[in-house]
Homo-oligomer: A and B are copies of this chain.
Amino acid sequence: MSGRVAPAPGRAVMPGLELARYLPYRLSVASNKASGLIARAYQARFGLTIWEWRVVAVLGSGHAMTAQAICEATAMDKVTVSRALRALNERSLVRRRTSPQDKRASLVSLTPDGQAVYEEIAPLALEWERSLLEGFSDEEKAVLGELLERLSVRADILAQGEDELP
């Protein structure tokens, strides 16, 4: 058996709303599966949450950054970044120096330990990505990336206008 489920007898057919075909739902399912997979791996092998990992990933470039810059680079909330930095700092994976230009802000960078963690995880992260995309052609990967990007842009645009509605 396969295909669409028939509507209950005597009930009007509602055109087209079937959860399994609803894009925001499918996107959420795919994202949760992919993230969950990788998050479990970070957690099990390195004791890092997905947010801590994201912070490490952007600091892996070697540039010191403010928490604010990290927020932008990781699409994380400032509270989430603050908590991730506290945890990373307690484990001595990052260090924070008060910015000389702005004494409210700190410049955060990886410690040697943090850099070592980054260098150990980064190749694994790429390997997980590769496994996830096994069977995708280069073109398919590019198209997927592009479509996700356009979707994000659309969502941003719609979010702009949403509180102006009736």
Chain A 3-30 per-residue mask, 1 if CB under 8 angstroms from chain B, else 0:
0010110010010111111111111111
A33 contacts which of B14, B17, B159 (Cβ < 8 Å)? B159
Residues of B near A116 (CB, < 8 A) are none
Distance A73 CA – B154 CA, assembled complex (angstroms): 27
Assess whether A140 is interfacial by the CB under 8 Å rule.
yes
A155 — nearest CB in chain B belongs to which residue?
A: B33
On A, residues with C-beta under 8 Å from B are 5, 7-8, 11, 14, 16-38, 40-41, 54, 57-58, 60-63, 73-75, 118-119, 122-123, 125-126, 128-129, 131-136, 140-141, 143-145, 147-152, 154-156, 158-159, 162
Residues of B near A36 (CB, < 8 A) are 155, 159
Selected A-B contacts with CB under 8 Å, 8 pairs:
A14-B118, A17-B123, A26-B149, A27-B31, A29-B152, A30-B151, A31-B32, A37-B155
A145 contacts which of B23, B119, B133, B156 (Cβ < 8 Å)? B23
B29 touches A35 (CB 8 A): no
B152 touches A30 (CB 8 A): yes
Known contacts A27-B31, A31-B31; 7 additional CB pairs below 8 A are A17-B125, A19-B57, A24-B128, A30-B152, A37-B162, A143-B143, A147-B147
